[in-house]
Structure 1
């Protein structure tokens, strides 16, 4: 079926946004019964989110439940309108809940210098965590400040909602979309700069040397079903990890995930997104002990996404049947890189016809990381333009983490699957925000 798509890079010389009728390879997408992308729905058979009744978001919204917003306050107000009847929220420009800076969230009396002085390893040691500290202690005041930020930057998304950016430059800067315990949500065409945790907590007992721990995912899918995340750009933006300071010999980590799918979430498709310049990127299943919530769920499809400058978790999987095909993974020269596919407890990862662009010195063996004993399928993937058996290479070079082949299932919910040789050209030019209008 034809899909109306706006290619910003291709049509930059055109005035406005022209609806191009294209029959694109696997263009995710949307049913072309309308030129309004806010009313487009996930195509039949397009990944796990098309299972059953599929994902329609707010496509059937009446005129009085279509909102155009230009500020964070307007955005949250549109989300808060009562009822679960379909709604469409169109974001114009960039909405920013942290425009006034971190100081706006500080509890009276909070002093970061005092925090560093009291909890330094030399003063506090590394054997006792900070739980139980009184409300007027540096940790208590940090927690109160963090609670202030939490109240402001999280946006709870109701059922039957489409959130879509208007044009090429719409986005959310420093906010966290909470898709929690609902059904039927679409998020498209937004540049989302990962939230910067203003008040990370020091945990002396985290590893042998302690660590800073942060909150807030850019998009959190928690216990929700039928969610389509499409044509977004998710990135650390102005605050890459390389710019973060170090305290107590550890990076002052202020980022969590870009997209997490956790706690019994199910039937999710993430397509044609650009994930950029981030460490712990995409987590599917957040705990080995969550079998009661997650077993038989966490069914997720990732296709035609660009992972560029990503250190790890692209994705890291527990429990779920996760279909990963036609994505492009780009590791830059000199970039920190740990792995792409993390194989966790009871996971059934099926990775097929993806493309990897790796620099000299990064072996294809590193693309896989074993956390728990769980078989996976990894076939017909290409590295630097040539076919590579990722499991065989991994097992030969990292025998201490031998992986078993055979995920035990075969994906059926796919649209057109492209040749892995063609994936870099296709994905690099069509993934991310600004590509639909």
Structure 2
């Protein structure tokens, strides 16, 4: 049966959309971001030409803090000092789609730290992305909240591909995991898991190749099938179609004579 889902999480709670929300309704599209380095505190140009003081930054390519309804689409990210995408401190209703992640250690962090329980309200969709070559871990790493990881291509991983801590919920659906011949085979990593019934990491119609394995946790009755709005629909395809589907992942290569 064909399944259609929206990139917007309109049916989810808007508990995080309060006075502390830093940004909302933003699209980050068509960028190449690489070799980011940590920076000491300093001033940057803010809205309306005003100087804004920023604290220390860790060298993330894209960092979301207390943000709502952000769409990160068709970007190429690699070789940073810290993470490529961090979704933290109560950010929710985030879509990360059609991006190319490569040559990086800690790729994608969802959830600030183990003690930041507000991230229990976090909802993130990770769809149509290409991970690899040479991505080591965090594709994504989830704390507290929920991630729907759907129709992504994984070309090998180092420590793990999908992992988390603090009772995360992850629905991995129709992804293609291709383990490297001499690399790690297990897809998942679960820090601190001791059989707790609040953990939910499930695999639906994933394809595992070259010996890849996926260790599920949680009761099948608690598997989360997200409910999406109908204003922006996409079809979940068979995982074997992902090499072709993700062939255009990343920033578009546009010229003056071409249309993107």
Fold shared by both chains (TM-score > 0.5): yes
Q: CA deviation at 1:194?
A: 3.9
- Provide the residue aligned with 1:289 in structure 2: 115
Greater helix content: 1
- Provide the residue aligned with 1:410 in structure 2: 225
- Provide the residue aligned with 1:193 in structure 2: 34
Please say if residues 378 and 405 of structure 1, whose CA atoms lie closer than 8 Å, have aligned partners that are also in contact: no
Q: TM-score of the superposition, structure 1-length normalised?
A: 0.46
Please say if residues 273 and 304 of structure 1, whose CA atoms lie closer than 8 Å, have aligned partners that are also in contact: yes
- Provide the residue aligned with 1:300 in structure 2: 124
| 1:388-410 deviation per Cα after TM superposition (whole angstroms, max 9, x unaligned) | 76126xxxxxxxxxx33545421
Would the alpha carbon gap of residues 410 and 45 (structure 1) be closer, same or farther in structure 2, given more than 3 Å must change? closer
Please say if residues 177 and 209 of structure 2, whose CA atoms lie closer than 8 Å, have aligned partners that are also in contact: yes
Is residue 166 of structure 2 the alignment partner of residue 354 of structure 1? Answer: no
Q: CA deviation at 1:193?
A: 1.1
| 1:133-169 deviation per Cα after TM superposition (whole angstroms, max 9, x unaligned) | xxxxxxxxxxxxxxxxxxxxxxxxxxxxxxxxxxxxx
- Provide the residue aligned with 2:88 in structure 1: 262
- Provide the residue aligned with 1:227 in structure 2: 70
Secondary structure, aligned partner of 1:422: helix
Please say if residues 351 and 379 of structure 1, whose CA atoms lie closer than 8 Å, have aligned partners that are also in contact: yes
Q: Distance in 1 between matches of 2:184 and 2:136?
A: 14
Q: Distance in 2 between matches of 1:50 and 1:187?
A: 17
Q: CA deviation at 1:226?
A: 0.3
| Alignment length (residue pairs) | 219
Would the alpha carbon gap of residues 227 and 194 (structure 1) be closer, same or farther in structure 2, given more than 3 Å must change? farther
Q: Distance in 1 between matches of 2:36 and 2:150?
A: 28
Please say if residues 71 and 95 of structure 2, whose CA atoms lie closer than 8 Å, have aligned partners that are also in contact: yes
- Provide the residue aligned with 2:146 in structure 1: 321
Would the alpha carbon gap of residues 222 and 324 (structure 1) be closer, same or farther in structure 2, given more than 3 Å must change? same
- Provide the residue aligned with 1:372 in structure 2: 192
Please say if residues 381 and 389 of structure 1, whose CA atoms lie closer than 8 Å, have aligned partners that are also in contact: no
- Provide the residue aligned with 2:245 in structure 1: 426
Q: CA deviation at 1:343?
A: 2.5
Unaligned regions of 5+ residues in structure 1, if any?
1-25, 27-43, 54-179, 200-213, 237-253, 393-402
Please say if residues 9 and 227 of structure 2, whose CA atoms lie closer than 8 Å, have aligned partners that are also in contact: no
Q: Distance in 2 between matches of 1:353 and 1:389?
A: 14
Please say if residues 272 and 432 of structure 1, whose CA atoms lie closer than 8 Å, have aligned partners that are also in contact: yes
Would the alpha carbon gap of residues 259 and 182 (structure 1) be closer, same or farther in structure 2, given more than 3 Å must change? same
- Provide the residue aligned with 2:48 in structure 1: none
Secondary structure, aligned partner of 1:195: coil
Greater strand content: 2
Q: Distance in 1 between matches of 2:183 and 2:210?
A: 15
Q: CA deviation at 1:424?
A: 1.7
Secondary structure, aligned partner of 1:361: coil
Unaligned regions of 5+ residues in structure 2, if any?
13-20, 41-56, 194-198, 254-258
